[in-house]
A and B are shown apart, each in its own frame.
Chain A
Amino acid sequence: MLSTKPSRAAEKLPGRPPWILVLPALAGLAFLVLPLAGLLIRAPWSTIGTRLAEPQVLEALRLSLVTATLATALCLLLGVPLAWLLARVSFRGARLVRALVTVPLVLPPVVGGVALLLVLGRRGLVGGWLYDTFGISLPFTTAGVVLAETFVAMPFLVISVEGALRAADLRYEEAAATLGATRWTIFRRVTLPLVAPGIAAGAILCWARALGEFGATITFAGNFPGRTQTMPLAVYLALETDPEAAIVLSLVLLVVSVLVLAALRDRWVNTT
């Protein structure tokens, strides 16, 4: 099956890597890693144990993990078909749709949150109907957090999966079609397995983005411990009064996400 083997490429080409690439690569790495080092240096290591034991921290962490995972599931459910539509079906306005998909990437998340309020809020276009008919109000709920994260994270999944679909060899799907498979069967039995690594990579990006989501969440879902206060929200508020607590919270979020991402990568992306 198609797989990404990062080690193979390095083995193939002989010769020393050119410094003109290596230097900026190292500078780029330093730029990404130094802020993390800053956090580690400033972390109040002596009190870290007692701070972590606070129930609010665990509550926020649990909520973050649960909502980011649910948001990723929702992104998969909606985003994979959307990516497929963009890559495999030619229709009028496909360019426009592709541009629209990336809107949440460009939109400041706080504006995204306001937009969600205007549509899904109690007096919003769709939310008003939900509230009047079923008595459902999404703002200030955990479901609201999941929706806000989904809104912000889905483009990452759609773009990755669409890229994988475009890179995949169409001949497998054509062969299946000549053998009489329906498009649904082809999607399920040929296309999905073919782009599985791309979907996994997209899902991981999506999960990571959802985990760090702040602006749309606090604007749409508000901030209440145990219900809508995810780690990034807890970090932001801790920063108001206790910067050291904010650093501890950020480190917890970083460590947990790095562990999860490393485990998933090994398991899904690099396997043959």
Chain B
Amino acid sequence: MIEVREVHKSFGALAVLKGVNLNVEKGEVVSVIGSSGSGKSTLLTCINGLEQINSGSILVDGVEVHARTTDLNKLRRKIGIVFQQFNAFPHLTALENVMLAPRKVLGMTKAEAEAIAVTQLSHVGLADKLSIYPGKLSGGQQQRMAIARALAMSPAYMLFDEVTSALDPQLVGEVLDTLKLLANDGTTMICVTHEMSFARDVSDRVAFFHQGVLAEIAPPDQFFNAPQHPRTKEFLSNVR
């Protein structure tokens, strides 16, 4: 379970998170929507400890992420994250990209890591791209490879930070299909997204981020059909 409690985070004078509260249960898919710059992505990078927080706390399975005694390298094994920008390791093939962390972090043998990497790459539809370098993959393929790379660590939680935002429109579908596949597998996911239909169809709950706080969080039916918060209503009427 991920518990976000009264988290405040600023970059210099700019307050990005202003008291965020969010609980995500095992197996749950939560979509986070909201206008750009509202702090959605920052929340994700705080959850796996890539960013420090100013106050509040974030607990993952009861372990406080930002406590001094927390071994972040160990904690991050169970939190996978995929970013908006392509972030493949350009000097490694798709297979090697996925094998790196299982080998170096989990200490698997080459054969073990390779078996897992092949499984995960096949799962995201890249079985025929194993020996291809990222430079020769399309944006959609790179994102799917990044998903496979995160999944190879068998994380308990997956965080997706606008993974389709940098893609050409015709490539968005293949990545969203991969995300749906994961959701159906029962993966616990937090998806920051601008894809309303995805949020509606796949999520257990949808959260609306506005000016550094979670203005509203509700199951998709209620969220899209009967939003409570005036800002949610305004936002939804603009994206429709």
Partners in one complex: no
Q: Which residues of B contact A (CB under 8 A)?
A: none
